[in-house]
Amino acid sequence: MTDRKSLFKNLEALASQAPAIVDLFNTEPNRLDRFVMREGPLRADFSKQAISGNALDALLDLAAKCHLEEWRAKLFAGETVNTSEDRAVLHMALRGVGGTKDIQDDVNQMRRHMAEFADEIRAEGKFKSIVHIGIGGSDLGPRLVSDGFEAMAEQALTLRFAENVDGASINDALSGLDPKETLVIIVSKSFGTQETKMNGLSARAWLSESLGDKAGEHMLAVTANRERAIDFGIKTENIFDFWDWVGGRYSVWSAVGLSLQIAYGPDVFSEFLEGAEAMDMHFRDQPLQENLPVMMALTGIWNRNAMGYSSLAVIPYSRRIRKLAAFLQQLEMESNGKGATRDGEPAGMTCPVIWGDEGTNGQHAFFQWLHQGTGLGGNGGAPVDFVAVLKDHENRPEHHAALLANCFAQSEALMIGKPEAIVRKELGDRADIDALAPQKTFPGNRPSTTITLDELSPFALGHLIALYEHKVFVQGVIWNVNSFDQWGVELGKVLATTILDEMKAGETGHHDASTTALMGLVT
Ligand code: F6P
């Protein structure tokens, strides 16, 4: 058995003597050769991480000792990697990589069916709008990708999303739409999710008011549980299936992306899949030291387990992918936010908090904390993933140059900081210099990775998302957690059902005093 504890201790010892990041550029003149990687349209610069060449060797050794290559082979071979749910994990098969011939045949059939269906709807012109209903993995991917496609593709139908059980969500989604021209797609792997079912019922009532019996012709379902969709009242021919080996948060590549196919066209969606496929092959075939998802994962392990950071900020300097942090919150935190290992042992430090917002907006909000905030490990602040798109898709060259300059400046500023000596020199002989100088000092040495995409094509977007998916897998292997279950979301769901039933019955049930009082506000 791998003694992870001692391997992590070794990393901690290395981190305690880690040189300042700026110094690494002097002591390792060829640093970029090892710390910058490119695959297709994506370049990732890890050189502004507080990781020396020696530390990287130790991280690669850790990956090898955690049997990463064996786990990677098991993943692509379709072995039961999701052990607690007894399932294979094969979202890569949706982009043509891995799985058996039978699986590939099923996938190809589904892809053909989706493409033909999307083409038909687009050619017919009957529908002008789509309302995509789903939550979590049945929502976040399509939402992120829809915005991302806007950079280079044309949306032929209006696409709205309803996810929250808050009535505002479905009201906003339906507002101003004509039921006669609206297609409602209910997306739920389980078809048992409270929010989605409730929004689906409200959408159906809205359609029925104008269309009567014909409402069913305007409703589709995408699910891995056909029976439940039929019970809900969806016509069998209007159901698109996917499989239990596709995890919800890895499902945008499946029929969950049907609304994207209809709105943007099957060719755009195929290009998106191809981008992910290229990253799958890179991850599957490249040695660990030249492997982008591995490098990204190891960087995260270093920051979490050696430097002690408890969060990671993800800042896209591209409005079109501004929902990246929200998407990654589910992908990373639902996958690796685990407290027990696969063997039932305490897992130690696993997934950090993922958070962020688009740049430059964040600069005027939380960047103060990134530059000078304290606590939360390392030097304070948090490591950052900057994500930028090199091509200007908005025909605003001046805006774009300023956007990129801000992105690059922030990573530099976080790293170099501003030493107190320089601040004191600038302040001269002011009487309040002792109070002011520390306030104007930037500690620096705050790590970041900068990912650039040559352009925000569907291909590049697929590449980027698949990169993060595989990063999550690698980190799960190293932390020895099952990245593909999510038992931690169950308790709240069960209690919400009980509380809703009790509130409807005018009861307060048996709860703690606080919960009882809150329920009393409603009953
Ligand atoms: O809340 C947890 C979760 O099960 C996610 O894993 C999933 O993506 C989401 O709910 C929605 O589930 P479903 O697609 O089954 O409606």
Instruction: Count how many domains the chain has.
Output: 2
Is the shortest distance between the CB of 193 and ligand 1 below 6 Å? yes
The pLDDT assigned to 451 comes to 98
Site of tokens 């990287």: 56
pLDDT of residue 4: 87
Asked whether residue 184 is assigned to any structural domain, the reply reads yes
- Residue 448 resides in a domain: no
Tell me, in angstroms, the distance from the centre of ligand 1 to residue 517's CA: 30
Q: What's the gap in Å between 135 CA and the centre of ligand 1?
A: 6
Is 137 a pocket residue for ligand 1 (Cβ < 6 Å)?
Answer: yes
pLDDT value, residue 1: 56
**CA 241 to CA 245: how far, in whole Å?**
12
Q: State in Å: Cα 460 to ligand 1 middle.
A: 26
**Straight-line distance from the first to the last Cα atom of the chain, in angstroms, rounded to the nearest whole number:** 54
* Whole-number pLDDT of residue 377: 62
Per-residue CA distances from 487 to 187, 218, 333, 340, 475 (Å) = 21, 34, 12, 11, 19
Domain that holds residue 506: 487-520
Ligand 1 centroid, distance to 248 Cα (angstroms): 6
* pLDDT of res. 463: 98
Residue nearest to atom 16 of ligand 1 (CA): 188
What are the DSSP calls for 324-368, one per residue? HHHHHIIIIIIHH--SB-TTSSB--S-PPEEE---TTGGGGTTHH
Q: Answer yes or no: is the C-beta of 135 below 6 A from any ligand 1 atom.
A: yes
Nearest CA to 138 out of 90, 188, 91 is that of 188
Give the mutation target among 87, 89, 138 for probing the ligand 1 site: most ligand atoms within 8 A of CB: 138
The preferred substitution site among 486, 487, 491, 495 for testing ligand 1, maximizing ligand atoms within 8 Å of CB, is 486
Give me the pLDDT at residue 211, please: 98
From 272, 305, 332, give the residue that closes a domain.
272
- For residue 291, how far is its CA from the centre of ligand 1 (angstroms)? 30
In a domain, 165, yes or no: yes
To 10 degrees, what angle do helices 4-16 and 53-65 make? 170
In a domain, 11, yes or no: no
For ligand 1, the distance from its centroid to the CA atom of residue 211, given in whole angstroms, is: 30
Which atom of ligand 1 lies at the shortest distance from residue 256's CA? Answer: 14
Q: Is 252 in the pocket of ligand 1 (CB under 6 A)?
A: no
Residue 507 within a domain: yes
Looking at residue 523, its pLDDT comes to 63
Looking at the domain assignment, is residue 491 inside a domain?
A: yes
- The token pair at 288 is 């660990």
Any domain includes 33: no
pLDDT for 5: 87
Domain end marker among 272, 303, 336: 272
Report the pLDDT value the prediction gives residue 400, as an integer from 0 to 100: 98
ipTM over 0.90: yes
36-39 and 42-45 strand pairing:
antiparallel
**pLDDT per residue as tens, the chain (523 positions):** 568 889 999 999 999 999 999 999 999 999 999 999 999 999 999 999 999 999 999 999 999 999 999 999 999 999 999 999 999 999 999 999 998 999 999 999 999 999 999 999 999 999 999 999 999 999 999 999 999 999 999 999 999 999 999 999 999 999 999 999 999 999 999 999 999 999 999 999 999 999 999 999 999 999 999 999 999 999 999 999 999 999 999 999 999 999 999 999 999 999 999 999 999 999 999 999 999 999 999 999 999 999 999 999 999 999 999 999 999 999 999 999 999 999 999 999 999 999 999 999 999 999 999 999 987 665 689 999 999 999 999 999 999 999 999 999 999 999 999 999 999 999 999 999 999 999 999 999 999 999 999 999 999 999 999 999 999 999 999 999 999 999 999 899 899 999 999 999 998 889 999 999 999 999 6
Among the candidates 245, 272, 299, a domain finishes at 272
**Pairing between β-strand 353-355 and β-strand 129-133 as defined by DSSP bridges:** unpaired
Q: How far apart are CA 215 and CA 237, in angstroms?
A: 15
Residue in 185, 193, 484 to alter for ligand 1 test, most ligand atoms within 8 A of Cβ: 193
- At 230, is the secondary structure helix, strand, or coil? helix
| Ligand 1 contacts CB of residue 254 (under 6 A) | no
Quick one: pLDDT at residue 312? 97
- Domain-located, residue 103: yes
* Number of neighbouring beta carbons within 10 Å of residue 192: 12
- CATH number of the domain where residue 199 is located: 3.40.50.10490
